[in-house]
Amino acid sequence: MERQHITIIGGGIAGLTTAIALKRIGRSVTVFEAAPTIRPIGSGISLAPNALSAFGALGLSEALQERGHMLRTFHILDHRGRTLTRTSVPEEVGPGILCIHRADLHAFLMEQLEPGDVRLGRRTVDIHQDAHRVIVTFADGTQHRTPLLIAADGVRSVVRGRLIPGVSPRHAGYVAWRGEVEAPVGMAGTASETWGPKGRFGIVPLGRGRVYWFATTNAADDDHRLAQYRVTDLQRHFAGYHPAVRDVLARATDGTLIHGPIQDLPAMAHFAHGRVLFIGDAAHATTPNMGQGACQAIEDAVVLAHALRTTPDAAAAFRAFEQERMPRTEWVVRNSRSIGEVGQWAHPLAIAMRNRLIRQLPPSFGQSRSARINDVRFEPLPATLTRGTDARHTSPDRADGKPGNDVAHAAPSGSPVPPPARAAGPEHGDIHHYAS
């Protein structure tokens, strides 16, 4: 049976990792990315053990770890700098959490592909499909026909907007700023997230004497006043926070400040729609509170490759993919949203109650959540990919040149916040493309 060519819309983390995984199983792929040029974009991103395990299935985990900084312990503090909880990744789970600059991750992914695999400046504006093919129309009026299409074009997916117009991003109730600075003295190896009445502030080491930081505050998604904030405004906003927060903001500059609302997607009825499959943020965008946005996209890539390798019929493979991925990603989205809601509490009495509860929780509480996310192993994919060395086509994660939600937070997924009711469906260990 002839192996059908696969087109991927979106050259971010989801699209590039999927291209690598599909080439591993011998599929020919083309990635179309809206951005016309290569630009260093975004700030830090964290990859938890589950994502590193998925990269391990591609034979890339160890090489990738050399590009960033490994982190094993993460602290949550109150706004005065007192520890609320400390979460660690057990050695038996993996090497820890990889903190890496987004541009470095994109460059690494592009090194695994051939120069012709990614085509820049191809902004999708319309899509149609029939029983035999998918027709993609680009902004320049050209069209591309393909038997199968993977939509990896982010939380504001154009493909999703055309095929499923009723599914739109929902605002989480807060906005974020983020940036990267030279590490203050004593901070290069320490990661923390501070929860206080003005919002949250995270500090995560990137290695090489740099840290990335993020800050959140409650706001409507259309609050234009906050969109105009400069570093001096943030310094005033977080003036009552402990010295580490103030030290980081003292090193921040307006030119590197990134601002945006925090969003996720409500659960979709299906990821597969005929000859089109949604992955990554286009399918299950999550708030960044569990550090799982990019991680789940990377899992998508490996699970999809396994499904297409073992199931000859593409439609059946797409259905198998969504049966495996939907319960897990829905659980992540729901739990991450819950953590964010509790972390953003602003009333003094609510904060005092929350902080007291967190301090009293046993370590096993956070560990169980962390295990559900991180304690996974993926079956290796065959190493049939011919790797390129040209990273000139590296593209940002979204068509508008802004990073996705996943750059904001890097907390281990075991953050000690009471979760909502557990999702029905398989646990991570029950998904058959994860090795036991």
Q: Smallest Cα–Cα separation from 98: which of 214, 255, 206?
A: 206
pLDDT the model gives residue 40: 63
pLDDT the model gives residue 398: 35
Burial 84-112 (b: 16+ CB within 10 A, else e): bbebbbeeebbebbbbbbbbbbbbbbbbb
Residue range 261-297, pLDDT digits in tens: 999 999 999 999 999 999 999 999 999 999 999 999 9
Q: DSSP of 246-293, one letter per residue?
A: HHHHHH--GGG-EEEEEEE-PPPS-SEETTEEE-THHHH---GGGS-H
Q: Is residue 152 part of a domain?
A: yes
Residue 219 has pLDDT above 50, yes or no: yes
Distance CA 40, CA 33 (A): 15
Per-residue confidence band for 251, with pLDDT thresholds at 50, 70 and 90 = very high
The C-alpha R_g of the chain, in whole angstroms, comes to 21
Maximum distance among all Cα pairs of the chain, rounded to whole angstroms: 66
Residue 143 has pLDDT above 80, yes or no: yes
Q: Is residue 220 part of a domain?
A: yes
Q: By percentage, how much of the chain surpasses pLDDT 70?
A: 87
pLDDT the model gives residue 39: 72
CA 71, 73, 76, 80 torsion-angle sign: negative
pLDDT the model gives residue 2: 54
pLDDT the model gives residue 226: 95
Contact 302, 401 (CB under 8 A): no
Q: Is residue 90 part of a domain?
A: yes
Contact 47, 301 (CB under 8 A): no
Residue range 14-67, pLDDT digits in tens: 999 999 999 999 999 999 999 998 676 778 999 999 999 999 999 999 999 999
Distance CA 278, CA 117 (A): 20
Distance CA 392, CA 118 (A): 10
H or E element, residue 18: helix 13-24
Average of per-residue pLDDT across 195-201: 99
Indicate the pairing of strand 69-71 with strand 97-101.
antiparallel
Residue range 345-388, pLDDT digits in tens: 999 999 999 999 999 998 777 777 788 898 888 999 986 644 44
> Which residues fall within 8 angstroms of residue 308, CB to CB, at 6 or more apart?
22, 25, 27, 314, 317
Secondary structure (3-state) at 73: strand
Q: Is residue 196 part of a domain?
A: yes
Residue 138 has pLDDT above 90, yes or no: yes
Q: Which two tokens stand for residue 190?
A: 């320490």
> Which residues fall within 8 angstroms of residue 269, CB to CB, at 6 or more apart?
none
Q: What does pLDDT average to over the chain?
A: 88
Q: Is residue 399 part of a domain?
A: yes
Chain center to CA of 179? 17
Strand locations in 293-388, DSSP E? 377-378
Single-letter amino acid code for the residue at 229: Y
Residue 427 has pLDDT above 50, yes or no: no
Total domains in the chain come to: 1
Which residues form the domain of 75?
Answer: 6-435
Distance CA 115, CA 30 (A): 11
Average of per-residue pLDDT across 120-132: 96
Per-residue confidence band for 120, with pLDDT thresholds at 50, 70 and 90 = very high
Distance CA 123, CA 336 (A): 31
Residue 390 has pLDDT above 70, yes or no: no
Quote the crossing angle between the two packed helices 363-374 and 314-343, to the nearest 10°: 160
Residue 24's region, left for phi above 0, alpha for psi from -120 to 50, else beta, is alpha
pLDDT the model gives residue 100: 96
Q: Helices marked H in 30-166 — which ranges?
A: 49-57, 61-65, 102-111, 158-163
Q: By percentage, how much of the chain surpasses pLDDT 90?
A: 75
pLDDT the model gives residue 389: 35
pLDDT the model gives residue 312: 80
Output phi, psi for 264, to 5 deg: -145, -175
Considering only 71-80, 287-296, 355-364, 397-406, which range has the smallest mean pLDDT?
397-406
Give the CATH number for residue 138.
3.50.50.60
Distance CA 352, CA 349 (A): 5
Choose between 96 and 398: higher pLDDT. Answer: 96
Q: Is residue 1 part of a domain?
A: no
Q: Which two tokens stand for residue 184?
A: 């203050």
Distance CA 194, CA 382 (A): 43
Average of per-residue pLDDT across 151-180: 97
Q: Is residue 426 part of a domain?
A: yes
Q: Smallest Cα–Cα separation from 67: which of 103, 41, 91, 94?
A: 103
pLDDT the model gives residue 433: 46
Residue 97 has pLDDT above 70, yes or no: yes
Considering only 145-159, 277-291, 419-433, which range has the smallest mean pLDDT?
419-433
Residue 164 per-residue DSSP state: -
